[in-house]
Structure 1
Amino acid sequence: MTVNASAVPAPQGPSGGSGRIRRQGARSGRRPDSHNGMAAMLLTPTGIILLALVIVPILFLIFTSFTDFNQRSLFTGEFNVAGVKQYATVLGDSTFWMALLRTFLFTAALVVGSMLIGMAVAQMMTKLGTVMRYLVTFVLIFAWAMPNVASSVVWNWLFQPGYGVINWLLTRLRIFGDLSNLAWSNTTTLAFVCIWMLVVWQAVPYIAITLYAATMQLDPSSLEAAQLDGAGPIRTYWQIVVPLISPSIMVIGMLSIIWDFNVFNQIWLVSQGGPSGSTSTIGVFTYKKAFINFDIAQGAAISVITVIILLALTSVYVRNLLKSGEDL
């Protein structure tokens, strides 16, 4: 017996299947447009801020680096297009390369120091009781929330010759002799040590809290299995915990490289790049070129080169992140 499909009535009414399918299809057809409109509306303020505070200044910076913009240009608005002259001058300046090398070495010391201390503090927090852990967290957040300018000023007071607390404590230890009048910023090594401690002290709270949060999300069974196999605390941490939280470590490490590469306030407020420019990193070197010597175009060229270096470093991280995602 043959049944004519067209003769079979389709279900109608509020509970009818075809009506429900049509309504669902209509609703699903409208959802992407409404979602896209909502997303665009939510992103518009951020896009305007990025355009005004990031994209436009960077474009103006790039344009300025191809001119002879200087102090005269600030008052008259007159400047000439110089092509790649500023880049040639910068790349041929030995002081630029010394500042760049100094920046790479100091950034490496800052990143390694802050990461290791931050990882140690994060692991210590997992062993503390509730009250002590909350107290440590409060202290870390308080230290991290302090503006780096205020922290740098206080740091100068601590290391001030004559009445600084650090010099007084070191003198009281009677190990290095009388250090009451020691001026840390007048010696290259001591100035770098002072700035290193300041920057690391400011960076450790963020690293410690973030890694502590990542560590607390781990499955305890993997740690228990390692302990049953006879692994000690140090071996368990480096062979089990660190590989499991490596995505968080990579993100924090990349951010630390970018932040530490651009350190300026702490260096300028502690030593102003001295003595004799021996603590001038690329940020301080650029500031002196643009706003002390008023060679603004050359300062812009140095800034563009710095941006390119940071983009290259960031691309390495993004490449590794995409590669790890493909492996998963």
Structure 2
Amino acid sequence: MALPAAEQAAPPAGPAAPGSAGAAPGRRRRRQVQPYLLLIPAVVLLAAVVGYPLIRLGVISTQGFGLRTLITGRAASVGTANYTAILHDPQLLPVLVRTVVFAATLVAGTVVIGFGAALMMVAAGRKLRVAMMLALLGAWAMPTVASTLVWQWLFQPTYGVVNWLLTQLRVFGDVRQHDFLAGTTSGFVVVWLLVVWISVPFVALTLYAGLSQIPADYYEAAAIDGAGYLRRLRTVTVPFLRPVLMLVTVLSVIWDFNVFNQIWILTKGGPDGATTTIAIWSFTQAFASQSYGQGAAIAVFSVVLLAVLVGWWVRRLVVTGEEA
């Protein structure tokens, strides 16, 4: 039987060419897998540096780990007794409230001042901008302990520069002998100023990098429409910077929630526990009271609490961004 003309003219099917569409799924799969392969070294490093200490911390929090354990190397399991003890501790609620309020004020001050410094660098000339960047990098590069000791000297009674300057300005009268770190409010203010001073450079430089990527056309179009500086800031700058603002805010929450060196060196949690945050409480419970199990339980509790707070904040920002 004769075949139709179309079938007679059709050439026999052969193997697909190497660059044909048949090989495309394989290439797509390789491209999808490659990023994960490149992330494996970082994941392994984080698992070794962060993962193991967290697991070990969780194990210690379920043990009666005390001074005797350090000598004998044996610790009895106590289950959730350490967590029950800290949940029933009368210090828990004041410490939590103090930590949250302190972290919130630190984050607000750091982001607002850092945002203002970034806007100043954008508006400044080249020489002034370079000078500002060098000053910010100098404050950021200084080790925490060294900067805290300098701050302690600045507010020292009798010889403190700040005490002398305030006395000369007649702001609060003669405060040369006044110990600002001994007061509940003034001690927190001094620690707040120090932490913000250390944290602002990262926020300012990061936001400046984000501001430098905003196209000038948008500002020109807004100016043509009659928008003033504040309106351009609200309708152009902030929407473009929202991802960067979310990043620096989340990182600031994590860092400020766990502030330890500055508080411990300046006030050691005093006076009368007025500057004791959850990080200070965990340290004193573990090393001052020799109750390492309860100290570890407080640390685990703070990690879980911080993860919940950061997760809620990120979800809120993402939902707000999608609605916008």
Fold-level match, TM-score > 0.5?
yes
Deviations 1:87-118 (A, max 9, x none): 11101111122111100111111011111111
The 5 A counterparts of 1:269-288 are 269-288=265-284
Distance in 1 separating the partners of 2:83 and 2:305: 14
Give the length in aligned residue pairs.
321
In the TM superposition, what is the alpha-carbon distance from 1:288 to its structure 2 partner?
0.2
| Equivalent position of 2:292 in the other structure | 296
Distance in 2 separating the partners of 1:120 and 1:48: 39
| Equivalent position of 1:76 in the other structure | 72
In the TM superposition, what is the alpha-carbon distance from 1:71 to its structure 2 partner?
1.2
Q: Which residue identity is paired with 1:110? A: L
| Equivalent position of 2:26 in the other structure | 29
Deviations 1:130-172 (A, max 9, x none): 1111111111112112111111111111111111111111111
1:65 is the counterpart of 2:27: no
Q: Is the 8 A contact 1:159 1:165 kept in 2?
A: yes
Deviations 1:264-318 (A, max 9, x none): 0110111111111111111111100011111111111111110111111121244
TM, length-normalised to structure 2: 0.90
| Equivalent position of 2:7 in the other structure | 4
Equivalent in 102, 109, 112 of residue 105 of structure 2 = 109
In the TM superposition, what is the alpha-carbon distance from 1:120 to its structure 2 partner?
0.8
Distance in 1 separating the partners of 2:218 and 2:23: 49
Distance 1:220 1:43, change over 3 A: closer
In the TM superposition, what is the alpha-carbon distance from 1:50 to its structure 2 partner?
1.7
Deviations 1:208-232 (A, max 9, x none): 1111111121122332333334333
Distance in 2 separating the partners of 1:291 and 1:227: 60
Equivalent in 125, 130, 140 of residue 126 of structure 2 = 130
| Equivalent position of 2:201 in the other structure | 205
Q: Is the 8 A contact 1:71 1:295 kept in 2?
A: yes
Deviations 1:167-204 (A, max 9, x none): 11111112212111221111111111110110001111
| Equivalent position of 1:97 in the other structure | 93
Distance in 2 separating the partners of 1:326 and 1:98: 36
Question: Cα RMSD between the aligned structures?
Answer: 2.5
Distance in 2 separating the partners of 1:33 and 1:234: 48
1:143 is the counterpart of 2:139: yes
Q: Is the 8 A contact 1:162 1:180 kept in 2?
A: yes
1:253 is the counterpart of 2:249: yes
Distance 1:142 1:25, change over 3 A: farther
Other structure's SS at 2:65 match:
coil
Distance 1:38 1:192, change over 3 A: closer
Identity %: 42
Distance 1:52 1:5, change over 3 A: farther
Q: Is the 8 A contact 2:246 2:314 kept in 1?
A: no
The runs of 5 or more residues in structure 2 that have no matched partner are none
Equivalent in 226, 229, 236 of residue 240 of structure 1 = 236
Deviations 1:37-77 (A, max 9, x none): 7853x444323322222111111211221221111111112
| Equivalent position of 2:163 in the other structure | 167
Distance in 2 separating the partners of 1:5 and 1:156: 95
The runs of 5 or more residues in structure 1 that have no matched partner are 13-17
Distance 1:125 1:160, change over 3 A: same
Other structure's SS at 2:259 match:
coil
TM, length-normalised to structure 1: 0.89
Distance 1:114 1:5, change over 3 A: farther
Q: Is the 8 A contact 2:99 2:277 kept in 1?
A: yes
Distance in 1 separating the partners of 2:35 and 2:253: 35
Distance 1:321 1:173, change over 3 A: closer
